[in-house]
Structure formats: C-alpha cells, structure tokens
C-alpha cells in the first residue's frame, strides 16, 4: 500500500471516529455470521483490532459495544465482509412464515409480556413483521421446519426459536393439539437412528391458559393435575385423545396410538402451574414469550426438548442417546423385529440388596420394617459433606485473611466421562478378587488406610474414617488400591463378597458428550471459552451471567439436568398412598439403576479427593515419606467440602492466591485447574477467615454458604 493510500485511509478513519455510536454497526448475530462466513476466528479479529478475544465475543453476543477508535475499524471490517458475504434474502412476512432456522440467536426485538386476554390485531401483525426470518437451511427436516417448540401467548401468537412467530387460531386444548400436529411443523429429529423423534412442545403462558379455558392455578396441590370432570379433560376424552397417568398437569402429554409408524403426541408446559422450576430455570417463566422461546429453544437444540423437570429431561436424554431396542431382521421370517441395542440398558433389573433403598422389595424381604441397616448392609456412595475439626487448624492457617471456595464444573458430568458401568443384572460372588475393570458393589474393610487427619477420608460422605467392612462401588475400591500402591501403604485389601455386573460398557458416554458440549457452548455465549488465561477467566466469570439472563437460565438448566438426571437413576417412591415394600412405577424402567448413580457419585468424590491430595503435595516443601500419607504443616489443605465445592484458607481473596503453579506459571500437575471445561474449577465465593472459623466452631459447613447464600437453595 502506498503512503498516499495510507494517508487517505487514515483520513477516512478519522472521519469514521466522529460518527455517533449508533452509526450502523450490524446486529450482534450478523457480526458473528459475517465472521464465520469468512472463516475467521475470534482470535484473528481480536489481533487485527488489537483487543482481547473476549471483547469480540462480547460484541458478537450484544453484551457490549466497541468504542472509538476500535469501533470504526470493526465497522470497516464488517462492511468489507458484508460486501463479500451478503445476508440471505429475507422472506416476506406471512401469517404462517416460511420455515425458519432451528438455531436460537437473540431476537431482534423482544415483545412486551402479553396481558390476559386477546390483544389488538395491529400489535400481532407488527410483531410478526419484526421477526420474519429467512427460509430454513438445507438439511432441516421439513416435518419440524419451525423448530422443537412454541411459546403460546394470549393473542394466539406462537413464538418459536429463531424469532419466528406463528398464528395459532386454537382456543381449546383439543384444537391446539391438532394445530400442533398438522400445521405448526414443530418437533425435533431423533438423537439416535433407533430412537424416537421429539414431540412438539407447546409452552402455555398465563394469558394463553386463560384463552384455552385453563385455571390460573391448580386446586389439586397434591396430585398437580386437573380433575377428571374438568371441561378440558372431558373434551380431550371425547375427541378420543389420551392422557398419561400423570393427567393434565404442569407437564402434560396428549396422545393417540401411533398411526402408520408416526407418533401422535403433543406435550405441554403450563407456566402458571409451575412447569419451570425456579431452582433450575431461575426467572425464565417471567420472560417475554419471544425471549422464553429463545431460552427453551437453546436448551432444546443443545440438550433435548424439555419433557418435564430438568431431572426428567436428563433421564430422557440417556434413553434418547442410547435407545433400549433397535430393528433387527428375524433369520427365520426375514421380518424386521425389535431387538436389544448393544451398549444400552435394555430391560429393568432389580438391584443387589446393598444397592437398594430401604423401601425396595428386596430389602423388605431381608429385613423387618424399621430395621436400621449398617454400612455392612447398604451401599452409601454419596457426595462429600465434610468439615475439618477446628482443633486441627494450624497456626499458619489461622494467620490468613480469607476463606476461598472453588467449585468443580459439573462434577458429576465429568465423572460420567468414560465411566464403565454395569448393563445387566448383578451376580453375587463370595471371596472375590477385586478387579477395577468390573463394575459392581464390594464388601471390604478399608479402615486400615490411614490418612492425614486434616484430610477427609475418601471412603465416606462425611469424611470420617470407616470402622470396619462396608459396601463400596468399584471406583471407591479402585482408589483405595491406588492410594496403597502410590504411597506404599502397609495395607492389604480382601473383599468378603461382591455383587458384580459382568456385562458392562461406557453407557453414559454419549450423555456426557451431549451435555458437556451444551455446557461449553452456553458458556461461550456468556463470553467464557476454553483456553482463556486464568485471570481473564476469573474476571469474565464475575459478570458473565448478568449480560444475558436468558443464556444464564439455559446454563442453570443444563447443570440441573446433570444432577437431576443422575438422581433419577435412584428415584424414590412418591405419593401418600405408597407402602414400604411395594414396587413403584420407576422400578419398571431400564434406567432405574441405583448402582450407576453410586458409581458416578463415587467417581466424583474420589476425583475430588485425588486433587486435594495432589494440591497438598504440590504445596509442601518436604517430600512425603513412604508408608503413610501424613502431610507437612505447610501443605495446603481444605477446611470444608460440600459435593463439588472445596474451601481453603488463603492470604488473598481469589483462587490464584493459593492454587499451586509450576515455575513457568502453569497449574501444578494433577491439581485443581481454573477453566470452563467439566472437571475444571471456578471461583465459588470468598468470605473473611473469622466468618469461616465461626462456622466451623458451630458445626456448620462454610462450603454451603461461601457465596453468601445456601448452596442447596441455589441448586448447587
């Protein structure tokens, strides 16, 4: 480029700097489209503009706007890209627009919440015109061209993903079902070729509930369903549609038997009845319909179309990714029939006695009602809830100023990665030889493994050293062998008996992949991406959720899906009519597997303990002698644990004030690492040291309140 041309460009740039901030920068979603169309990374754009990559992420998410002189340079780049990669032509607005993309970008305009009752036609037409979108991209299933779900408002507007708005004329549930199946083009393709397509989901706002003749609140607070005599239920029955056993409640399914291989089912989420639990979704049920469609659509496209609570969706996702059956050809008749799917849970099986909860029939057959089972009777694999005895605090620890909590990202999800679990029924073995590759439950005495008293025992949820033989899942016993071998502990382990599952596999791997990708993609939407500098990561985490409450709600729902899905593997009986010793409906599904739940939680707990030990060893100056695991006084040790949160005393208020690093600035091998991926950690919260000491003295767990709130209330 000549000096004359450089001078001209400089003059142009100077003029651009004088332009007001509202000078025509494309919408955030268009900025991202242009960059991707050119094959440029955020890092390349950031380097060209001499800014951090996180700034580009924030501009593309619409959380912040570039300032001069960066703004002029960014606009110049986007204009150049727009000339080369023009936007697709926009379809003319229609009462029923052309198929729209099923991705979930932020809508250009967010309508205000609809009041009860019909709205003016002019407002509805204006809303539709504002959100008209391009036609669906090639490869979209035409049956589901309008996405997985719609949020129905009181004026008949049905807000879909991608900003699309459909006109829904239905004024009762039956006509709404028929519209959803025959006209709306809603639903989602199966996640596995042998699985089932996701049914359309209609989310009913309070205004829409009034339009459809549904009550504002459910009078049946115990059963959470409309009574059989309600006009809506009667109309459904009269039209020869059916309801599932849970009736018409916050989450309802209206269906008919499949016809010609096609499912006929619509599911409903009724917002005024509490369909979206605030512990999982935050305040999402109060979002305007268009924003709620973006939020639920983001979850549906990344995880699964919601089918109930996030716990239910987590369990349904397992089945959707690993269907129990597949089509196989009968060798005699050569007809296609249903057969078991390799690697899946194909049939319901009863647990081994130690794996079963107290209410289960296998326990009732062994023990009288009210019997208190001991560790030698029952498997107790639960997450940590431990505090250190305040008498064991060192003088050096008491001179520090802060209690700092770190939290493992989706710890249960990380534990599920590559975890081998049993696929079939348990087999009883006496005097077995332990094999860490065989999933199962083992009766073995681990009390001989002594650790530093300032550390929790990895073998019990409360961190107290076991007193004799007890039942443990395979990952716990494997970790016991690892400790013995690594630190040359003078202990020999001899299992008494075991319930093993010879048929095994990494059943949860697809579930892990789907949810981990969803988690990371949503964090990226919030400006947090893999590979960030540790300080940049901590800074970005402080404000990421405030910039986009919608994506923050999706993130919360994804985390609840992980924990809830694992919890559902051992769903307990519900309802006042249940009697101990009776079977309950959950036992009849292949995914009722308390042994798998135990294996995941066991793995998460020993993963946490392994990092605790390696962090301590990386911070103490003296080498550890062979034959015991008693650490030096200068070793960094936790003072409290709660599930995936660990609290340490530190001289400064953040994780970088105590986490060990190598001389070149990298995290010490095997210790906690700050970052966004499952299994890495983030800052959970900080309080003054005296606050934490007082909590310990009173027998309370500082990890529960380190954020200033109760972790259980926050869904942690």
Q: Please indicate, yes or no, whether residues 163 and 293 belong to a single structural domain of this protein.
A: yes
Residues 130 and 261 reside in one and the same domain? yes
Given the structure tokens 């025509």, which residue do they identify?
A: 24
Please tell me the predicted confidence (pLDDT) of residue 336: 87
Is pLDDT at 148 greater than 90 in this prediction?
Answer: yes
Bond into 82 cis (ω within 30): no
CA-based Rg of the chain, rounded to a whole angstrom? 28
Of the three residues 307, 324, 357, the one that is the final residue of a domain is 307
Report which of residues 171 and 118 the model is more confident about.
171
Q: State residue 107's pLDDT score.
A: 37
- The pLDDT value recorded for residue 121 is 35
Could you tell me where the DSSP H helices lie in 569-663? Answer: 594-619
Mean pLDDT computed over every residue of the chain: 88
pLDDT value for 11: 54
Same domain, 189 and 289: yes
In a domain, 680, yes or no: no
Identify the residue whose tokens are 């769903």.
571
Instruction: Return the pLDDT at 145.
Output: 95
* Two structure tokens written together for 50: 């001499």
C-alpha span between 587 and 594 (Å, rounded): 10
Can you state the percent helix, strand and coil of the chain, rounding each to 5?
Answer: 35, 15, 50
Shared domain for 264 and 141, answered yes or no, is yes
**What percentage of the chain has pLDDT greater than the value 90?**
71
Q: Which residue has better confidence, 193 or 119?
A: 193
* Domain presence at residue 215: yes
Are 79 and 160 within one domain? no
User: What is the 3-class SS of 343-399, one letter each residue?
Assistant: CCCCCCCCCCHHHCCCCCHHHHCCCCCCCCCCCCCCECCCCCEEECCHHHCCHHHHC
The domain boundary residue, chosen from 55, 84, 113: 84
Give the domain range for residue 15. Answer: 3-84
- Section 535-561 average pLDDT: 95
What phi, psi does 428 have (nearest 5°)? -85, 135
Residue 2: other Cβ atoms inside 10 A: 7
Same domain, 288 and 140: yes
Residue 135 lies in a domain: yes
- The least confident of 85-94, 352-361, 654-663 is 85-94
The residue whose two tokens read 């009883």 is: 428
Model confidence at 8: pLDDT above 80: no
Regarding whether 18 and 164 lie in a shared domain, the answer is no
* Whether residue 145 sits in one domain with residue 66: no
Residue-level pLDDT at 3: 53
Indicate the burial class of 333 (C-beta count within 10 angstroms; 0-12, 13-18, 19 or more): exposed
Tokens for 386, please give them: 């431990």
What values do phi and psi take at 390, rounded to 5? -60, -20
Could you tell me if 404 and 658 are in contact, meaning their C-beta atoms sit under 8 angstroms apart? yes
Please state the domain count of the chain: 2
Residue 264 lies in a domain: yes
Question: Which residues touch 185 (CB under 8 Å, ≥6 apart)?
Answer: 99, 142, 143, 144, 145, 146
Q: What pLDDT score was predicted for residue 106?
A: 37
pLDDT digits over 237-253, tens only?
Answer: 999 999 999 999 999 99
332 burial via Cβ count (<10 Å: 0-12, 13-18, 19+): exposed
Q: Are residues 50 and 160 in the same domain?
A: no
Is the model's pLDDT at 58 over the cut of 70?
yes
Task: Express each pLDDT in 379-433 by its tens digit.
Answer: 999 999 999 999 999 999 999 999 999 999 999 999 999 999 999 999 999 999 9
How many whole angstroms separate alpha carbon 136 and alpha carbon 351? Answer: 47
Beta pairing partners, 404: 648, 686
- pTM for the whole structure: 0.81
- Residue 173 and residue 234 in contact, taking contact as beta carbons nearer than 8 Å: no
Residues 6+ apart with CB under 8 A from 550: 106, 284, 287, 291, 294, 295, 298
Query: Considering the domain boundaries, does residue 336 fall inside one?
Result: no
Side-chain half-sphere CA neighbours of 10 within 13 A: 7
β-bridge partners, 253: 267
Q: What is the dihedral of CA 40, 533, 512, 566, to 10 degrees?
A: -140
Same domain, 74 and 158: no
Inform me whether the pLDDT recorded for 661 exceeds 90.
Answer: yes
Q: How confident is the model at residue 88 (pLDDT cuts 50, 70, 90)?
A: low
Lowest mean pLDDT among 4-8, 65-69, 267-271, 321-325: 4-8
Q: Please report the pLDDT score of residue 588 as a whole number.
A: 96
- pLDDT above 70 covers what percent of the chain? 89
Among 676, 666, 428, CA closest to 538: 676
Question: Which band of pLDDT confidence, cut at 50, 70 and 90, is reported for residue 4?
Answer: low
Q: What is the pLDDT of residues 331-344, one digit of tens each?
A: 888 888 899 999 99
Task: Tell me the mean pLDDT in the region 356-367.
Answer: 93
Residues 149, 202, single domain; the answer is yes
The answer to whether position 620 is within a domain reads no
| DSSP conformational letter for 611 | H
Q: Could you tell me if 635 and 659 are in contact, meaning their C-beta atoms sit under 8 angstroms apart?
A: no
Residue 164 in domain: yes
How crowded is residue 261: how many other Cβ atoms within 10 Å of its Cβ? 5
The pLDDT of 591-599, averaged and rounded, is: 98
DSSP helix/strand/coil, 517: helix
CATH of the domain at 77: 1.10.260
**Do 254 and 175 belong to one domain?**
yes
In angstroms, rounded to a whole number, what is the distance separating the alpha carbons of residues 171 and 283? 27
* Residue 491 DSSP one-character state: -
Round to whole Å and give the CA distance between 426 and 474.
13
pLDDT in tens, 634-650: 999 999 999 999 999 99
Looking at 275, 307, 339, the residue that finishes a domain is: 307
Q: Which residues, 6 or more positions from 327, have their beta carbon under 8 angstroms from its beta carbon?
A: 194, 336, 337, 338, 339
* CA 613 to each of CA 450, 484, 491: distance values in angstroms, whole numbers, following the listed order: 13, 14, 19
Confidence label for 68 from pLDDT (cuts 50, 70 and 90): confident
Cα–Cα distance, 173 to 250 (Å, whole number): 14
Tally DSSP H helices, then E strands, for the chain.
22, 20
Inside any domain, residue 182: yes
Residue 585 has pLDDT above 80, yes or no: yes
């Amino acid at each position: 480029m000549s000096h004359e041309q450089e001078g001209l460009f400089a003059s142009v740039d100077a003029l651009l700097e004088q332009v007001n901030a509202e000078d025509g920068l494309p919408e955030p979603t268009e900025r991202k489209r242009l960059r991707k169309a050119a094959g440029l990374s955020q890092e390349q754009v950031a380097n060209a503009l001499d800014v951090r990559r996180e700034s580009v992420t924030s501009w593309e998410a619409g959380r912040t706007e570039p300032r001069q002189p960066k703004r002029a340079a960014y606009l110049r780049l986007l204009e150049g890209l727009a000339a080369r990669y023009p936007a697709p032509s926009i379809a003319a607005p229609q009462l029923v627009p052309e198929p729209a993309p099923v991705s979930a970008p932020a809508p250009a305009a967010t309508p205000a919440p609809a009041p009860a009752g019909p709205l003016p036609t002019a407002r509805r037409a204006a809303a539709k015109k504002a959100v008209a979108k391009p036609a669906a991209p090639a490869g979209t299933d035409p049956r589901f061209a309008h996405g997985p779900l719609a949020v129905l408002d009181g004026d008949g507007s049905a807000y879909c993903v991608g900003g699309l708005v459909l006109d829904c004329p239905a004024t009762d549930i039956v006509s709404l079902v028929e519209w959803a199946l025959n006209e709306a083009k809603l639903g989602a393709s199966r996640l596995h070729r042998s699985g089932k397509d996701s049914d359309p989901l209609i989310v009913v706002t309070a205004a829409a509930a009034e339009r459809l003749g549904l009550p504002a609140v459910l009078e049946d607070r115990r059963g959470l369903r409309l009574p059989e005599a309600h006009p809506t239920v009667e109309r459904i029955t009269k039209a020869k549609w059916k309801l599932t056993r849970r009736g018409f409640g916050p989450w309802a399914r209206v269906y008919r038997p499949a016809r010609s291989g096609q499912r006929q089912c619509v599911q409903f989420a009724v917002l005024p009845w509490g369909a979206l639990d605030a512990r999982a979704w935050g305040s999402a049920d109060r979002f305007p319909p268009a924003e709620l469609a973006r939020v639920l659509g983001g979850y549906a496209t990344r995880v699964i179309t919601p089918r109930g609570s996030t716990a239910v969706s987590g369990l349904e996702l397992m089945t959707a990714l690993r269907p129990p059956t597949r089509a196989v050809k009968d060798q005699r008749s050569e007809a296609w029939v249903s057969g078991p799917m390799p690697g899946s849970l194909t049939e319901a099986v009863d647990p081994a006695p130690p794996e079963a909860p107290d209410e289960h029939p296998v326990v009732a057959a062994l023990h009288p009602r009210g019997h208190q089972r001991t560790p030698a009777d029952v498997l107790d694999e639960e997450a940590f809830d431990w505090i250190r005895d305040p008498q064991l605090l060192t003088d050096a620890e008491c001179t520090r100023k802060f209690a700092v909590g770190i939290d493992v990202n989706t710890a249960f999800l990380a534990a599920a990665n590559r975890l081998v679990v049993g696929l079939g029924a348990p087999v009883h073995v006496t005097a077995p030889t332990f094999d860490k590759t065989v999933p199962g439950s083992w009766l073995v005495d681990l009390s001989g493994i002594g650790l530093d008293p300032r550390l929790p025992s990895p073998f019990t949820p409360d961190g107290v050293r076991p007193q004799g033989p007890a039942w443990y899942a395979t990952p716990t016993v494997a970790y016991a062998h690892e400790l013995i071998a690594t630190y040359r502990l003078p202990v020999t382990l001899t299992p008494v008996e075991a319930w093993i599952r010879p048929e095994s596999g990494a059943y949860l791997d697809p579930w892990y992949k789907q949810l981990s990708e969803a988690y990371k993609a949503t964090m990226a939407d919030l400006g947090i991406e893999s590979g960030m500098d540790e300080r940049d990561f901590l800074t970005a985490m402080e404000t990421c959720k405030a910039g986009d409450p919608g994506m923050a709600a999706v993130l919360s729902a994804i985390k609840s899906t992980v924990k809830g899905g694992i919890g559902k593997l051992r769903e307990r009986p519900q309802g006042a009519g249940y009697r101990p010793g009776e079977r309950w409906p959950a036992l009849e599904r292949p995914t009722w597997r308390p042994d798998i739940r135990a294996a995941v939680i066991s793995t998460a707990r020993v993963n946490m303990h392994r990092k605790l030990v390696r962090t301590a060893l990386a911070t103490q100056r003296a080498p550890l002698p062979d034959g015991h695991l008693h650490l030096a006084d200068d070793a960094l040790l936790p003072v409290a644990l709660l599930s995936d949160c660990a609290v340490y005393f530190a001289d400064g208020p953040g994780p970088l004030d105590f986490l060990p690093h190598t001389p070149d600035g990298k995290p010490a091998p095997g210790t906690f690492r700050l970052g966004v991926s499952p299994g890495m950690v983030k800052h959970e919260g900080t309080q003054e040291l005296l606050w934490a000491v007082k909590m310990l003295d009173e027998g309370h767990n500082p990890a529960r309140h380190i954020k200033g709130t109760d972790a259980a209330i926050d869904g942690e």
